[in-house]
Amino acid sequence: MTLCNYRPDFAGKYARCLSCLLGLVVILLSAGCSGESGPTIVYPIPYPTDLRISGIVNLADVAVHQNLGGITPSLIDLTPFELSIQDQPGNTTSADADGRFVFEPISIRDQVVIICRHKTHANFVLEWMAANSQGLYSEVRAEITLRSTARSLIARCLRDRYGRRINPDSLDAQHLSTTVDAIAEVLEKHPEKLSQYQLDQVPEIKTAYTEMAAALHQGESGVYPNEMVLLFYMAGDNSLATQIADNIEDIAAAGLPSGTQILIQADFPIEGVKRMMLSDKKMIELAAVGHADSSSGAVLADFVAWGRRAFPARRYALFISSHSDAWKNAAALRQSLIVDNSSGNTGNPIEIAAWLEGACATFDGFARPLDLLVFDACSMGCIEIAWQFRKCAEFTVFSQAFVPAQGLPYGKIVSSLFASTPTSLTNQQLGDLVCSEYRARYIDAAVKAAATISLIRNAGFDTFMPKFNDYLTRLYAEIALYGIVMGNLRDSLEVVSEEGDKKYVVQAFERAEYRDLKSLLVKARNSMPLLADSTDHLLAVFNQIVVTSHASSWYFPEANGISITFPDKASYLSEYIGSSPSGYFFLDFCQTTLWDEIMTAINTQ
């Protein structure tokens, strides 16, 4: 494993301890999520063990209720407490009769959270947190108390909700009193609340620490360690392994933009899964786990949740690179979102979206979506996918067409960020930057490719979907009249080339079942006069969701940024509602709209 090559200038006996790692790097040298989202992935690699934590559990200042193990005021049996370190699976210990504990040595890091859980009353959970941008190393003494728990909850909430890091020890009585009082109230008088909630989820306690974290954020307390973190999830355990390896080299060669951190989780057929971080134009391997199923939403969610905890930042962008075929989930190439050959599995977009949404929630349940989600994968640019992932990010970038095997021009994207000031870019401008570099690589190049790229504003669905549902409701009411019209329009051809390629009246892509949504609406309008007003109202707000769209005019002259699934009759009857019904009908889009009922009516008339 490759570690940092430079040495921070620490004096005395600590110089040897820190020569291997920066404080900011080493928090990555352990596994992913420890229970906050997704399963834990253990990275069984020996790391430098230069942080030694010991301490005591001290509840002398609280009269724990006898239902929670309290014996008399200020006296409680402390041996049932089991302690673990967040993001350090397997390193657990127990308190002795006096509350003392010792952990096995761990790697240097810039933050650490100790979870202290009662073995009998599992929701009785105390905490302790330390954070130091210069690194935590050598001997660290932890005293776990009500106040340490309040400090940890407030500091973690500030970090996870707002991306700010603060030293928990800087929080004094004025910051802690409300949270401490709320914790004491539960432990002393209302132990029954722990039968329903974990201590940090008791409503009164949650209100106390979240309000204080919000006040600290508004007062600009703490710091943003990073302006932006770019997370690259590169699932290359398939035929894209070579291209993904090349893309990682391009990212490294571009360098690290100011105020930005780059984290990569890559999967390859032979090496398996690796986590890496960019430093000084070099990829530092942080962990390797062998083969894991990268098509699993849980594995993706673990990477995202871990990255957000380990690298607090003002903003996050996630790039997902692999094979895909929009919403489909099957074994064949291009028949899913993410193909993982070693496991033999393919990703299910419904599951992946659910896990990703969970990873975007903080431990207290606060939803903090990604600022940008980028799909470097084929045919993802459809309304079904956009709607399924709408809660995962403010903006989404994807392609209606196939994506060339080389994928996004990652080096150019990072170089453009390097040349700009990330703090000056809005999330929309960041998405536009990705689209512009893709356009330059494939659409405006001397040798042009059949390509599309678009940027979606997910908040725009709040305006778009009510009008779209109104349109579909009116269409379904007139399906006996207009079902045949829609079917004929779908099947109408403008031309068939000598090679047999078909050009449809309604813009189609490499897979003809995906049709440009705006092209369909415009072409259908004049043939369905009863829906003219609904169509016009819908088209008027189309730019609320599609804010940027680029397409190869020769190949896709009427591509407008987002597609809809509209298969021909034979495909629908055999692949959608045949002996093995398609997963299409389980998508949120089908649960929210009448489109699947309309397709069924059109294809069964």
- According to the model, what pLDDT value does residue 309 have? 92
- At 367 the pLDDT is 94
| Beta carbons of 233 and 370 less than 8 angstroms apart | no
* Model confidence at 329: pLDDT above 70: no
Tens of pLDDT, residue by residue over 348-370, are 999 999 999 999 999 999 999 99
CB-count exposure of residue 282 (10 Å: 0-12, 13-18, 19+):
middle
For 210-230, give the DSSP string. Answer: HHHHHHHHHTT-SB-SEEEEE
- Residue of 66, 6, 22 whose CA lies nearest to 188: 66
Parse the chain into domains and list their residue ranges.
Answer: 12-218, 226-459, 464-604
Q: What is the DSSP string of 449-480?
A: -S-EEEEEEGGGHHHHHHHHHHHHHHHHHTHH
What percentage of the chain reaches a pLDDT higher than 90?
71
CATH of domain 226-459: 3.40.50.11970
Residues 4 and 82 sit within 8 Å (Cβ to Cβ): no
Asked if residue 496 has pLDDT above 70, the reply is: no
> Distance between CA 213 and CA 234 in Å, rounded?
34
**Which residues neighbour 384 within 8 Å (Cβ) at sequence distance 6 or greater?**
326, 327, 564, 565, 584, 587, 589, 590
% the chain with pLDDT above 70:
89
Residue 401: exposure state from Cβ atoms within 10 A (0-12, 13-18, ≥19):
buried
User: What's the pLDDT score for residue 25?
Assistant: 38
Give the span between the Cα atoms of 136 and 11, in whole angstroms: 14
| Local confidence band at 160 (pLDDT 50, 70, 90 cut-offs) | very high
pLDDT exceeds cutoff 70 at 97: yes
Mean pLDDT of 420-446: 92
- How far is Cα 596 from Cα 582, in angstroms, rounded to an integer? 11
For residues 49 and 557, what is the distance between their CA atoms, to the nearest angstrom? 59
28 contacts 275 by C-beta, under 8 angstroms: yes
Residue 511 in 3-state DSSP? coil
The larger pLDDT score, comparing residue 538 to residue 69, is at: 538
Task: Give the side-chain half-sphere CA count within 13 A for 543.
Answer: 2
Rounded Cα distance between 257 and 421, Å, is 8
Burial tier of 509 (Cβ tally within 10 Å: 0-12, 13-18, 19+): buried
**pLDDT > 90? residue 487:** yes
Q: What are phi and psi of 187, to 5 degrees?
A: -70, -30
Per the prediction, the chain carries an average pLDDT of: 88
Which pLDDT does position 497 carry in this prediction? 62
* Res 73: pLDDT: 54
pLDDT exceeds cutoff 60 at 27: no
CA neighbor of 595 nearest in space, from 485, 517, 481: 517
326: left (phi over 0), alpha (psi -120 to 50) or beta: left
pLDDT tens per residue, range 510-547: 999 999 999 999 999 999 999 999 999 999 999 999 99
Q: Return the axis-axis angle of helices 146-162 and 297-310, rounded to nearest 10°.
A: 110
Amino acid at 186: V
> Which one of 3.40.50.12780, 3.40.640.10, 2.60.40.10, 3.40.50.300 gives the CATH number of domain 12-218?
2.60.40.10
Which pLDDT band holds residue 34 (cuts at 50, 70, 90)? very low
pLDDT digits (tens, 9 = 90+) for 442-469: 999 888 899 999 999 999 999 999 999 9
Q: How many angstroms separate the CA atoms of 8 and 18, rounded?
A: 7
Local confidence band at 29 (pLDDT 50, 70, 90 cut-offs):
very low
The packing angle between helices 410-419 and 427-438, to 10°, is: 130
pLDDT tens, position by position, 247-291: 999 999 999 988 899 999 999 999 999 999 999 899 999 888 888
Q: Give the pLDDT of residue 330.
A: 55
Produce one character per residue of 219-249: b if its CB has 16 or more CB atoms within 10 Å, e if not: eebbebbbbbbbbbbbbbbbebbebbeebbe
Burial of 318 (0-12, 13-18, 19+ CB in 10 A): buried
Written as six digits, the tokens of 442 are 């494939």
Q: What is the DSSP letter of 444?
A: S
pLDDT of the residue at 108: 85
pLDDT band at 50 (very low <50, low <70, confident <90, very high): confident
How confident is the model at residue 156, as a pLDDT? 97
- Per-residue pLDDT, averaged over 140-165, amounts to 97
How far is Cα of residue 541 from the mean position of the Cα atoms in its chain? Answer: 28
Q: Are 323 and 378 in contact (CB under 8 A)?
A: yes
> Per-residue pLDDT tens for 164-205?
999 999 999 999 999 999 999 999 999 999 999 999 999 999
Beta partners for residue 54, in sequence order: 102, 141
